[in-house]
Chains A and B, each alone.
Chain A
Amino acid sequence: MPAPIRLRELIRTIRTARTQAEEREMIQKECAAIRSSFREEDNTYRCRNVAKLLYMHMLGYPAHFGQLECLKLIASQKFTDKRIGYLGAMLLLDERQDVHLLMTNCIKNDLNHSTQYVQGLALCTLGCMGSSEMCRDLAGEVEKLLKTSNSYLRKKAALCAVHVIRKVPELMEMFLPATKNLLSEKNHGVLHTSVVLLTEMCERSPDMLAHFRKLVPQLVRILKNLIMSGYSPEHDVSGISDPFLQVRILRLLRILGKSDDDSSEAMNDILAQVATNTETSKNVGNAILYETVLTIMDIKSESGLRVLAINILGRFLLNNDKNIRYVALTSLLKTVQTDHNAVQRHRSTIVDCLKDLDVSIKRRAMELSFALVNGNNIRGMMKELLYFLDSCDPEFKADCASGVFLAAEKYAPSKRWHIDTIMRVLTTAGSYVRDDSVPNLIQLITNSVEMHAYTVQRLYKALLDDISQQPLVQVASWCIGEYGDLLVSGQCEEEEPIQVTEDEVLDVLEGLLVSNLSTPVTRGYALTAIMKLSTRFSSVNRIKKVVSIYGSSIDVELQQRAVEYNALFKKYDHMRPALLERMPIMEKTATNGPTEIVQTNGETEPSVVEAKHPPPVTQPANQANDLLDLLGGNDVVPVIQTTMPTKPASAGGELLDLLGDLSLSGAPAPAPAPSVPTSQPSFLLDGLSSQPLFNDIAAAGIPPMTAYSKNGLKIDFTFERANPNPNIAVITIHASNSTEADMTDFVFQAAVPKTFQLQLLSPSSNVVPALNQGTVTQVIRVLNLQKQQLRMRIKLTYTHKGSPVQDLAEVNNFPPQSWQ
């Protein structure tokens, strides 16, 4: 068997391959040779073969068949073998593999080897990729080595301990004793790794943190020595002594000083010293300054020190080195909340960074700029930010647009400025604006009442230029639909009013409907806008024609709207003006907004007003099954379906004789209590949600009625509609007593047919005073989902002049409006 070719030779050969296929062939040939060599258990060349395998693995070829061979190399006594074996383990094995665990014993032996370089190999491998099980098994060995006087091993053991702690945090405690005099070491390697270990422990455990706070003076001393000491060739980097150690100490100080006054005070001086004395001409000095700034900002430093830190960052911003500018912006972003005024001073430099060529710097600068916007600088800042929006990469546009809207909303100096800013964003970055901006903008525009004419005019002009940007088109269509009359009448005060006819406006809107550029959502907006103009323009016939055409549109949404609008023209023309009238000012609320009752046509009709849903929904007073979905809006608008009132006699409409045996929880229980159904299926007293919220706006349309009047006891019903559910009728009974004696123990009970649900709240009292001196009131809520005619049976019990009285009655004379 000829000796396997040497590693360098293989590398040379493979590099001569001119194509990928040629390379693959060579690799396959060599792999085959290696495989057979492995099969022969050849000890001499195993090392060479594994090395070659590692090379091929780096080129991207599979090498898993070499895993076991690595283990054999590790177990070998030859240092060469171990070196390659451990390297192979680190490259080919990850903790997911079973082979991995087989290493544990070898590592354990090697950790106790007589040669420190072998021990080093073992520590390195364990610290690089040891699994949790391995760490658990070997933690004791690592801890032992942490206490050795051999600094070569001690520093490696420290970092190995860090890895063990990361893998198995519970083992942290066992390393505590060994940390005792780690910092008294002179050796920088040990010092550095010790600081890393201490940092890891403090970050993970508040107890450790408290324990190690006492090291602050020692750390300060070490840092001081590094700064003050003369030139040390061994550790010097561009005139600075061991910057790596300095940075790690500063980081540990940061953790120790955070939220602790005493520690923070103890490190104040050294931080000031480092901040002022560090050479800034090279990256290494700036690295230290950077870490210093981070520490100053995180601990409880005095204000002078904080200002010093921010100024360092300010100087960084002016540095030629873009890396420095980048870290400055990142740090300023972190501190802008807490040290806002100090950062404001550097605002102009930050804004200049918007023009930087580097993408990361631009992004940071943009975020920081938005954080710095306030009422004083809004005009200037917005100018810069809008300019940035114009010229920035597409990846920024969405965030920038959102930021501009937010800032404008918070700090707009005038309504006109606000509208202008919105227009600018929509026209320059209209396609990148987020979907939720459209309803927000519409709401904003609605609320700027005096700007309506100006707004619609500007939006109309923008549409004439460009109909490709959907958010712009949507907002514009909505506004034209809403304020088209202002547009045509040329009422604009803010700028020169344009002359535009109704036909021109309709041309534009119809153009949107047919254009390829319009999305279905936009078309919906356009159609609704056209419809709304039917009450604002005089060319109703044209609008009717458009609407009827789209009644056969392929787009289902469009078709539905057109059909409904058609129906509006044909059957409900009398309602059209009311339905399409101007929108009220909308309250912006976090979720679905409060409901308001709007009175139209003398009837109470609830309308749902939500921040995100501009259109209200109104209920037609009568029976047809039309779904009226008004005024566009992307989202589903709640729709209330009405049905023909069926005759009460149909299916279960009979009033059941309920009052006889049932215990109706009337008076004593205010909480809804389910009644006891026995043989008779009955209604439920409860069933409705327990919130007794309802608007006390009187239903002016529903007249009160007298439900019962007998023996001096009169019971009147007054009506309201409940919110948010218009299917619930709220009836308040008013019981009055015209006799000369009080009626005591007064209990009112009610029952309704099966198709209804009833809830009785607690009465105001159970004594009805004599001679109409007062009334007992009680609230009944009736849920009438099927809109059937309301009928009720009531039962009254009371004590009058010493004797109990009981009476049953039927109430049939409910006014129609109370149940429709």
Chain B
Amino acid sequence: MQFMLLFSRQGKLRLQKWYVPLSDKERKKISRDLVQTILARKPKMCSFLEWRDLKIVYKRYASLYFCCAVEDQDNELITLEIIHRYVELLDKYFGSVCELDIIFNFEKAYFILDEFLLGGEAQETSKKNVLKAIEQADLLQEVSMLSSIDGFSWLF
């Protein structure tokens, strides 16, 4: 996978994960153009498209579009499953996840993604294991926070 974007129906970016080295300017341009292209597509259309020289796989969940750019040899159908697995993980973590959860807890969305994918490939195929790792890491975070100056100061 080269990158993954999450954006709303108004075109606002909610998450962007890049697995290829591109400058900020290039990333902005790609995001902008691709988001426009996808938003312009009709609901009945295919989840796959060729865009520039990339294969794009996207799916809409409620008000959020999940969009991935994959390599030529990648299996588009399994990419849909990868997207779905990520949504399931978010759902389990936040409990019936909605866009607002991702807006207000964007850093958590990243942490979860980083426990599921690494370098653009799936590192863990068990839902349970991903969630367990996140849980442990969150615990570690709390402990490290508790050991700071004012006890229960919630940084977030």
Contacts and interface: CB of A to CB of B under 8 A. Distances in A.
A163 B2 CA distance: 12
Nearest to A87: B110
Interface residues of B, number: 62
B148 interface: yes
Nearest to A94: B21
A357 B45 contact: yes
Interface string B1-39: 000000000001111101101111000100000000000
Contacts of B133: 117, 120, 152
B104 interface: yes
A83 B75 contact: no
B155 interface: yes
A58 interface: yes
B77 A327 contact: yes
A251 B19 CA distance: 21
B78 A327 contact: no
Interface string A48-60: 1001001100111
A192 B107 CA distance: 26
Interface in B64-93: 73, 75-78, 80-82, 85
13 contacts: A58-B14, A81-B144, A83-B107, A96-B21, A159-B121, A159-B123, A160-B118, A234-B127, A242-B125, A245-B125, A323-B46, A327-B48, A361-B46
B44 A358 contact: yes
Nearest to A289: B77
B22 A326 contact: no
B123 A155 contact: yes
B54 interface: no
Task: Count chain A CB atoms within 10 A of each CB in B104, B123, B141 and give the residue with the most.
Answer: B123
Given A48-B155, A48-B156, A58-B106, 18 more contacts: A7-B155, A11-B103, A47-B155, A59-B13, A78-B147, A78-B148, A83-B111, A91-B16, A120-B137, A159-B121, A162-B121, A235-B125, A243-B78, A284-B81, A287-B81, A322-B46, A323-B46, A357-B42
Task: Count chain A CB atoms within 10 A of each CB in B42, B85, B122, B147 and give the residue with the most.
Answer: B122
A192 B47 CA distance: 25
Interface stretch (A24-32, A121-129, A543-551, A668-676): A121-129
A235 B140 contact: no
B19 to A, nearest CB: 6
A84 B46 contact: no
Interface in A715-759: none
A58 B155 contact: no
Main SS class of interface, A? helix
A244 B21 contact: no
B149 interface: yes
B78 A287 contact: yes
Main SS class of interface, B? mixed
Interface string A309-346: 00000000000001110110000000000000000000
Contacts of B106: 54-55, 58
Contacts of A124: 114, 118
Given A189-B125, A284-B81, A287-B81, A51 B107 contact: yes
Nearest to B28: A60
A274 to B, nearest CB: 14
Given A83-B137, A357-B45, A192 B156 contact: no
B50 interface: yes
Nearest to A57: B24
B81 A243 contact: yes
Interface in A78-92: 78-81, 83-84, 87, 91
A123 B123 CA distance: 12
Interface in A88-112: 91, 94-96
A271 B112 CA distance: 34
A291 interface: yes
B121 A193 contact: yes
A159 B118 contact: yes
A290 B77 contact: yes
Contacts of A244: 78, 81-82, 122, 125
Contacts of A323: 46-48, 76-77, 80
A8 B156 contact: yes
A765 B124 CA distance: 87
A11 B104 contact: yes
A46 to B, nearest CB: 10
A193 to B, nearest CB: 6
Contacts of B16: 58, 91
Interface residues of A, number: 73
A270 B94 CA distance: 40
B152 interface: no
Contacts of B129: 189, 234
B128 interface: yes
Contacts of A95: 21
Closest 6 CB pairs of A and B: A287-B77, A79-B144, A127-B119, A189-B124, A159-B118, A287-B78
Task: Count chain B CB atoms within 10 A of each CB in A12, A94, A234 and give the residue with the most.
Answer: A94
Interface string A126-143: 011101000000000000
A358 B45 CA distance: 5
A83 B141 contact: yes
Nearest to A238: B81
A359 interface: yes
Given A287-B75, A326-B48, A237 B81 contact: yes
Contacts of A44: 148-149
A193 B121 CA distance: 8
Contacts of B82: 244
A80 B155 CA distance: 9
Interface in A261-299: 283-284, 286-287, 290-291, 294
A189 B121 CA distance: 11
B46 A360 contact: yes
Contacts of A245: 125
Contacts of A196: 121
Contacts of A59: 12-13
Contacts of B23: 94, 96
A12 B154 CA distance: 16
Contacts of A123: 118
B141 A87 contact: no
A6 interface: yes
Contact of B77 (A47, A83, A131, A283): A283
A381 B139 CA distance: 65
A80 B145 contact: yes
Contact of B119 (A80, A152, A160, A188): A160
A8 B104 contact: yes
Interface string A226-245: 00000000110100001111
Interface string A1-36: 000001110011001000000000000000000000
A661 to B, nearest CB: 69
A79 B145 CA distance: 8
A115 interface: yes
Task: Count chain A CB atoms within 10 A of each CB in B12, B18, B104, B124 and give the residue with the most.
Answer: B124
A486 interface: no
Contacts of A115: 140
Contacts of A51: 107, 155-156
A702 B57 CA distance: 74
Interface in A35-80: 44, 47-48, 51, 54-55, 58-60, 78-80
